[in-house]
Structure 1
Amino acid sequence: MIFIRDEPVHDEAEMAEYQRLNRERGSDGFDVKRLAFYGAADALEGPAPDGVVVLEFPSVEEARAWYQSPGYQAALQHRLKAATYRVIITEGV
């Protein structure tokens, strides 16, 4: 799963609440691994993102289940108010 933040955060309080909820709930029993978390990003093509997160799940189905879980959906409402993201689930190799 890839999270691309296109612009800087425009509501710090909402982002802080999103992060707090994610810390408290953790992965809620899902097998999730952080592969990239807001490290330096060098755009070779297209516009440079403000931030990128890459999460690994055992399957697309598990990634979708995590995203749709009550715990993440509660946090998501705050992220949507805080910043503009694109979120992509892609199948690995």
Structure 2
Amino acid sequence: MTAYAIANLRPAGGRPPHEDVFVYMERIQATLDPFGGRFLVHNAPLEVREGEWPHALVIIEFPAIEEARAWYDSPAYQALIPLRADHIPGDLILVDGVAPGYDPARTAAALRASA
């Protein structure tokens, strides 16, 4: 089942990124390639329809959660993290996607039955 790394980044508004951030961006794809990771969303404008989202969104797709975990824990990515995190704080989660044929109505029925 497909999995995702989702980051909510809080760049400093109005200031250009630190040089380390550019180095991070130049090197991250090489850390993703061995694990089948690919960017789905990166530095795209957001159109907020509900609530607030003042930060930048990044979504990276992996073939499965095991690859997402292995990428995050890899020495290559661990070495890159400070290049970004020291200048752009954020939150990052790893999450499984839904299986093909997922039916939200079935999920609602199961939740209703257990309530």
TM-score scaled by length of structure 2:
0.68
Pairing 1:62–2:62 present = no
Whichever residue aligns with residue 64 of structure 2, its letter is S
Counterpart for residue 50 of structure 1: 55
Counterpart for residue 40 of structure 2: 35
- Between the aligned partners of 1:6 and 1:47, the Cα distance in structure 2 is 13
1:16 to 17, 22, 27: 22
Give the fraction of aligned pairs with identical amino acids, expressed as a percent: 30
64-73 or 5-14, which deviates more = 5-14
44-53 or 71-80, which deviates more = 44-53
Question: Structure 1's 7 and 44: CA in aligned 2 closer, same or farther, altered over 3 A?
Answer: farther
The structure with higher relative contact order (CA 8 Å, sep 6+) is 1
Moved over 6 A (4+): none
Computing the radius of gyration from Cα coordinates, the structure with the larger value is 2
Give 5+ residue unaligned stretches, structure 1. Answer: none
Report the Cα offset of residue 81 of structure 1. 0.6
Q: Please list the CA deviations of residues 44-73 of structure 1 after superposition, one character each: whole Å capped at 9, or x if unmatched.
A: 344323311101111111101101101101
Alignment coverage as a number of residue pairs: 92
TM-score scaled by length of structure 1:
0.81
